[in-house]
Amino acid sequence: MKYELPRENDQQHFMSIIEKMSGQNIRLCYQCGKCSAGCPICHEMEDSPNQIIRYIQLGLKEQALSKNTIWLCASCQTCSTRCPQQLDLAKIMDSLRILHQQESLQQNIPFSTSAKDFGHRFYNSLLNGLQMDVRSNVNAFSDLFLKMVRHYGRQFETGLIYNYNVNSGFLFSNVLKGPMMLMKAKINLIPEDVKRREKVEKIFSKIEQLEKSEKEKR
Q: Under rule CB under 8 A, how many of the chain's residues touch other proteins?
A: 55
57 sits near other proteins (criterion: CB under 8 A)? no
Q: At what angle do helices 49-57 and 8-22 cross, to 10 degrees?
A: 130
**Binder of other proteins out of 11, 58, 178, 204 (CB under 8 A):** 204
User: Of 2-10, 26-34, 77-85, 121-129, which segment contacts other proteins by CB under 8 A?
Assistant: 77-85
User: Of 9-17, 29-37, 119-127, 187-195, which segment contacts other proteins by CB under 8 A?
Assistant: 187-195
109 sits near other proteins (criterion: CB under 8 A)? no
Residue closer to other proteins, measured from CB, 45 or 56: 45
213 sits near other proteins (criterion: CB under 8 A)? no
- Rama region for 108: left / alpha / beta (φ>0; ψ in -120 to 50; rest): beta
- Rama region for 61: left / alpha / beta (φ>0; ψ in -120 to 50; rest): alpha
Residue closer to other proteins, measured from CB, 17 or 181: 181
Task: Give one DSSP letter per residue of 168-212, joined into a string.
Answer: HS-TTTTTTHHHHHHHTT-S-SS----TTHHHHHHHHHHHHHHHH
Burial class, 218, CB count within 10 angstroms (exposed 0-12 / middle 13-18 / buried 19+): exposed
Residue 22: CB minimum distance to other proteins, A: 9
Residue closer to other proteins, measured from CB, 27 or 196: 196
